[in-house]
Structure 1
Amino acid sequence: MGALDSSNAYKKSLETSMRRGFAVDDGGGLMPEAVASEPIDCKAVLDSNLWQSIASGQEYEFQSSIFQPVGGMDMIAQAFQKQVNDLIHYNAKVTRIQQNDKGVTVTYQNSDGSGGAQQEQADWCVCTLPLSILGQLPVDVSAPMMSAIRAVPYESSIKVGLQFKRRFWEQDEHIYGGISYTDTPISKISYPSTDYGKQGKGVLLGAYIWGPNAYEFTAMSPQMRVQKAVEYGAQVHPQYPAEFENGIAVGWHRVPWTNGCYGLWTPETRQQHYKNLCQIDGRIVLAGEHASYIPAWMEGAILSSQDAIKRLHTHIIASAKAA
């Protein structure tokens, strides 16, 4: 079992190499015969904390059967946009939300500062602004909902995308998709799962950072974040410096429309505030990943929106009948 030898030892052999890979693979014709690979020292494996990363693929939210839309995750937003394009007002910065027993008024201005204040009025409002933004606005909601809005801080996160002259991870190292986990501040390197074997330039996720390291990287300029991602990534792939072309870095706490990555609930704040946050408050109901039990995921945002719309519809019908 497990390619152990007769003395129950895991050593360099054909059997272990059939599981872990060969130093030299079998070839054809007069190519070299296979050469067994040397197992990594057991202590080095244990000291690397590799087990923590191996377990990631077994977690419920990170199952290997997760798919992505062709063309990238933004294709989901674009599909919604095609259905409601004429209803969308782009580059609008909400500055106030008012309500009374007749309806809701949303005041906004152009995000570039041009023009004056503008308003939209409706009978009801489904508000999907992140709590990190909503908590800074004058909003006519009850005290319990406002307390809930202001009770949820937002987690920091950094992503760095790196473009290289070629897909060296495939050409040199036979890496096709997947993730390299590191104990450096960049946390991980994620390889594209599309266009395998494509010639020319290649792009990978050079860092996906959380926690204290994310706050440190948030304080850097975007250019410095990219530079650091290249420096740390070179410890995994020595080809980085020679093959690197350019990169882009996003720090969620520096994005003015979110001021953070996702709502950071705790069991205690959920117990105290979650139901108040999700209630229909007068003529306003909130939706988004922050109003779900699946924070940080689009699934949580979509399920939250579906639930809010269904409950609001039922509430409106009941109110009409009561009138």
Structure 2
Amino acid sequence: MQKDIMYNTEMDEALKVIDKGLKKTISPKQIIVVGAGMAGLVSASLLKAAGHDVKIFEANNRVGGRIETVRMEDTGLYLDVGAMRIPYSHTLTMAYIRKFGLQVSPFINRNETDIIYVNGRKTTLKQYEKDPSILRYPVEMNEVGKTSEELLLLAVQPIINFIKKNPEKNWDIVVKDFGRYSTGQFLKYHPYQYNTYFSPVTIEMIGVLLDLEGFLERSFVETLRFLYIMQEESGFCEIVGGNDRLPKSFLPQLEENIIYNQKLMKLHQHDNGVTAFYRNEETFEYSSITGDLVIVTIPFSTMRFVEVDPFDSISHEKWKAIRELHYMPATKIGIQFKSRFWEEQGQLGGRIITDLPIRYAYYPSYGIGEKGPAMMLGSYTWSYDALLWDGLSKGDRIYYALHNLATILGGQVYDEFISGISKSWTLDPYALGGFALFQAGQESELQPAIVKPEGRIFFAGDHTTLYHGWIQGAIESGIRVAVEVNE
């Protein structure tokens, strides 16, 4: 099975590639790269520098894929509607940030002043941690007095501690032992201490307060990975000026190699190469290009609409993975306010946690203490919560997000409101989902096929790694595929 997380030796090799590049090729190839997200940009930049002829075809009119920063014309404020936080522990991502001389600032993921508004009751994280009964969840006697986090950690901390002892060896053991569980099944059927099981109310509370409701039906190992990263003491950062500055930093080297508004429609594998057929997204004209090989970095959700000829030039196992890999819906709503009125109430970065439809909101971590307008992530939802918003008009998304925020923060939100934006990754035709996430049992079943090249077709993207939903995964896969192709 593919290694779970890159280990030290592999990480060192990858960092060396970022720093020094690949070995110069003695047999240059004509390489077609599909998609100008991070995986496509990383692989193309490395292969071009190694002497190959590279062409990148991008369906959108910008680079970055699911790293997208929306900038407001009236105020100059911005919001990362895609990837928004970068763990300092993600060394490949940090290496590229350093390479391009980009500045980062801390992303404040949580604060003791975070507001919790659940079951119609409002409190702060600090008060809740002091007295968990404040939210009136009717938990069992043995669960009283413990926060949702404390309860969850009773069940998962021993496993996380076991992994930390020897990640290289122990992740594989954990995947083998727990890979068949969904998160919900694990919490329901796995005793967390002295043969004690969680009550249904506690599982509900864990889901609501720790933003794991969307994970309950997904693979428990995916949840473990998420918690493993969230526990990193080094914390998170964001790129000053917007995270899209990272993909845009590849443009000086690659701009001449990128063709925009070109959507992949069909791949034809033949004896001496691969022909890719494209549709221009503005004129709807079709064109084709032939190369020695193709690197496909688009999500499998969008790959389902690409015709491959001959059909069996891609293995049965790969088609199964393309068809079955689950994509998590994700939707964000940004609200522009006249001032940082929440800072007067002591909210300096951090978030709101609620069971209202907005679910999670994040105050901006940048510009704290500044006067003038500010941009807030008024709602960040996953899974079924995200699909609710996707069914609303753009105007109604802003209306209900404001309404929820007013319930929590007071009527001042209406006085302070300037404008709003929203982004559904499920409704984005070039993403068709937020990020890949295994269902129970899928990791050992699908992962070996996901990474495997098929003839002259190679695959990259965060969905081909085990860093689902992180920039690190896209970079890791871009390096992996560039090395495969160069050799």
Q: Same fold (TM over 0.5)?
A: yes
Please give the residue correspondences for 1:144-155 in structure 2 after superposition, counting only pairs within 5 Å: 144-155=317-328
Q: Which runs of 5+ in 1 are unaligned?
A: 1-19, 22-37, 315-323
Deviation at 1:46, TM superposition (A): 6.0
CA pair 115-45 structure 1, distance change in 2 beyond 3 A: closer
1:108 to 262, 278, 281: 278
Deviations 1:249-270 (A, max 9, x none): 1111111111111123124222
**Cross-structure match for 2:267:** 97
* 2:307 aligned counterpart, secondary structure: coil
User: What percent identity do the matched residue pairs reach?
Assistant: 29
CA pair 115-212 structure 1, distance change in 2 beyond 3 A: closer
**Cross-structure match for 1:288:** 461
CA contact (8 A) 1:101 1:283 kept: no
* In 2, Cα distance between equivalents of 1:298 and 1:42: 35
Larger gyration radius, structure 1 or structure 2: 1
* 2:384 aligned counterpart, secondary structure: helix
Bigger relative contact order (CA 8 A; separation at least 6): 2
Question: C-alpha root-mean-square deviation of aligned residues, in Å?
Answer: 2.4
Deviation at 1:125, TM superposition (A): 1.1
Letter in 2 for 1:295: H
**Cross-structure match for 1:254:** 427
The question of 1:60 aligning with 2:228 is answered yes
* In 1, Cα distance between equivalents of 2:148 and 2:334: 24
Q: Which runs of 5+ in 2 are unaligned?
A: 1-111, 114-126, 139-146, 150-205, 213-225
* In 1, Cα distance between equivalents of 2:465 and 2:236: 20
* 1:121 aligned counterpart, secondary structure: strand
* 2:250 aligned counterpart, secondary structure: helix
CA contact (8 A) 1:222 1:250 kept: no
**Cross-structure match for 2:358:** 186
Deviation at 1:300, TM superposition (A): 1.0
1:220 to 385, 392, 403: 392
1:134 to 296, 303, 312: 303
CA contact (8 A) 2:326 2:439 kept: no
**Cross-structure match for 1:72:** 242
* 2:474 aligned counterpart, secondary structure: helix
* In 1, Cα distance between equivalents of 2:274 and 2:364: 45
The question of 1:44 aligning with 2:134 is answered yes
* In 1, Cα distance between equivalents of 2:132 and 2:254: 57
* In 2, Cα distance between equivalents of 1:45 and 1:155: 29
* In 1, Cα distance between equivalents of 2:132 and 2:442: 43
Deviation at 1:42, TM superposition (A): 5.5
* In 1, Cα distance between equivalents of 2:407 and 2:240: 31
**Cross-structure match for 1:275:** 448
Letter in 1 for 2:376: L
* 1:68 aligned counterpart, secondary structure: strand
* 2:308 aligned counterpart, secondary structure: coil
Paired residues in the alignment total: 276
**Cross-structure match for 1:10:** none
* In 1, Cα distance between equivalents of 2:484 and 2:461: 15
Deviation at 1:134, TM superposition (A): 0.5
**Cross-structure match for 2:476:** 303
**Cross-structure match for 2:217:** none
Q: Under a length normalisation based on structure 1, what TM-score does the superposition of the two structures give?
A: 0.79
Deviations 1:24-77 (A, max 9, x none): xxxxxxxxxxxxxx9986621564966454799x93222452111111111111
* 2:486 aligned counterpart, secondary structure: helix
Letter in 1 for 2:292: D
* In 2, Cα distance between equivalents of 1:301 and 1:267: 23
CA pair 213-288 structure 1, distance change in 2 beyond 3 A: same
Deviations 1:140-194 (A, max 9, x none): 4232222221111311111001000111111x21221112212212111111111
Q: Under a length normalisation based on structure 2, what TM-score does the superposition of the two structures give?
A: 0.53
**Cross-structure match for 1:164:** 337
The question of 1:121 aligning with 2:290 is answered yes
* In 1, Cα distance between equivalents of 2:433 and 2:132: 40
Deviation at 1:220, TM superposition (A): 0.9
* 2:256 aligned counterpart, secondary structure: helix
Letter in 2 for 1:177: G
* In 2, Cα distance between equivalents of 1:42 and 1:135: 46
